[in-house]
Amino acid sequence: MSPIFVGLYLLMPAMLASQGVQADINQMAQRMKPRLVELRRDFHAHPELSNREQRTSRVVAERLRALGLEVRTGIARHGVVAVLKGGQPGPVVAVRADMDALPVQEAGNLPFKSQNPGVMHACGHDGHMTIGLGTAEMLAGMRKQLKGTVVFLFQPSEEGAPDGERGGADLMIAEGTLANPKVEAIFGLHVMPGLEAGKAGYVPGAAMAAIDRFSITIHGKMAHGAMPQKGVDAIVVASECMVALQSIRSRRVDPIQPMVLTVGTIQGGSRNNILAEKVQMGGTLRTLSEATRTLSKTAMKEILSGVTAAHGATFELVFADSHPAVFNEPALAERCAVSLGKALGSGNSLRVEPWLASEDFALYQQVIPGFFFFLGVANSAQGITAPLHTAEFNLDEEALVAGVKGMTTLVLDYLERTSPTAPIQTKQ
């Protein structure tokens, strides 16, 4: 046990979540900062793409073993699962951190800039892993008094597995990570450049979008460009389809329901004077409610069917890489928001708007309740404001400390609330 934990250890017979203990947790996390920074910079300098996280996995597993946790590797390819059994009876909860980087060439000249050309932690997963490991270290230091078991899930391939491969949360669940031991609630976070470091944002209910990637193929009939009456022009039909698809947002979906449909690619035709036989379009549909999601997908089929039939063309519509919205069960979210406020200061736990990016954390929440929050990482004064998935993205490392404080407190409060020896509480 590192010396910083001894003080905490002696205090633990007091209630885990009491104010004095909270002050101690915050102090320990602050003292951990140099090591958190070092770890995050190491991950940042060595980013690896989805399902290729070999080195990352090795570093994570080594750190967890050094804390005395039971560690399993090779889960969902390069995933790592570590179990921390507390000394007191209580529930089993999980903390999830994702591990993969993106195919982005990092801009700027940070001293810990990516050493892998064309690969970058542009989604901040280096920060997620660091916070996961910091939280594991904090909780391992309280093992004897811990009321329950904490499973740390280090998940590869959140950004999506390469074509033809399976990965991410889907494979982690398929390989039994929520079943052995049986987890009853899961916690996760995503760094958020729209919030200043030291703050956390939460959304009760649907917090991030359901995603449906789609590809559309329009089949026409080839003909000479000077004799269109002899063919079916797939480009003209595709153009009508594309415009008509936007009427789903404007005319089919309730205006107060979030939904966006984007066609991001279009390819078709072979020559300037030949009617295109085939056009392919690729896009993404994002929604927050299952009702809007179903309505939108049905409307897409109806529009494609009607427009192509009107012109004597045919179509194929294929959805892939779909997953549901990140959904924070409202009562759990409100309790967790209180824990975040305790850890970061009540003014720093903010209810925010949902975000139409997607996260495969949603898949865990299809199995068990979970809470997913946004961790502020911006520092406007220092110019750290670049969005996620850009070559300029960076985070204020003070946020790593806030993340460890927040995640540790969330877990401790949940265990305290739900353990068999929890004090009787009045309903909120």
Find the part of the chain contacting Zn ion (CB under 5 A) among 6-14, 121-129, 364-372, 405-413.
121-129
- Tokens 């915050």 identify what position? 26
In the bound complex, what is the minimum distance in angstroms from residue 127's beta carbon to Zn ion? 10
Determine the Cα–Cα distance for residues 345 and 367; give it in Å rounded to an integer.
31
Determine the residue type at 116: N
Kindly name the residue from 24, 53, 98, 100 that is annotated as catalytic.
100
**Cβ–Cβ under 8 Å, residues 347 and 163:** no
Number of residues that bind Zn ion (CB under 5 A): 1
Nearer to Zn ion, 208 or 313 (CB): 208
Minimum CB distance to Zn ion smaller for 149 or for 394: 394
For the record, the structure tokens of 268 come out as 């078709």
Beta bridge partners of 84: 150
Torsion over CA: 31, 139, 335, 370 (sign): positive
Smallest separation, CB 158 to Zn ion (Å)? 6
Write each residue from 318 to 357 as x if it is in contact with Zn ion (CB under 5 A), else as -, in one continuous string.
Answer: ----------------------------------------
Distance (Å, whole) CA 128 – CA 89: 28
Active-site residue, selected from the candidate residues 53, 158, 159, 359: 158
Kindly state the smallest distance separating residue 357's Cβ from Zn ion, in Å: 7
Residue 123 sits in the site that holds Zn ion (CB under 5 A) = yes
Min. distance of Cβ 392 from Zn ion in angstroms? 15
CB neighbours of residue 205 within 10 Å: 14
Question: Beta-strand (E) ranges in 200-287?
Answer: 200-202, 205-208, 210-219, 259-268, 278-287
Peptide bond into 181 cis (omega under 30): yes
Our answer to whether residue 100 is catalytic in this structure is yes
Q: Which of 22, 358 has the CB closer to Zn ion?
A: 358
Interface segment toward Zn ion; rule CB under 5 A; list 104-112, 119-127, 129-137, 371-379:
119-127
- Minimum CB distance to Zn ion smaller for 197 or for 238: 197
| Cβ 172 to Zn ion shortest distance, Å | 15
For residue 193, give the H/E element and its range.
strand 185-196
Tokens 């669940």 correspond to what residue? 173
Q: In terms of CB distance, is 125 or 293 closer to Zn ion? A: 125
Query: Residue 274 CB: number of other CB atoms within 10 A?
Result: 14
Based on the residue annotation, tell me whether 106 is a catalytic residue of this protein. no
User: What's the CA gap between 281 and 214, in Å, rounded?
Assistant: 8
133 vs 303, beta carbon nearer Zn ion: 133
- The stretch among 85-93, 117-125, 209-217, 327-335 that binds Zn ion (CB under 5 A) is 117-125
Minimum CB distance to Zn ion, residue 205 (Å): 21
Report if residue 131 touches Zn ion, rule: CB under 5 A.
no
Give the contacts of 412 (CB within 8 A, at least 6 positions apart): 16, 17, 25, 139, 142
Active site residues: 100, 158
Question: What is the contact surface with Zn ion in residues (CB under 5 A)?
Answer: 123
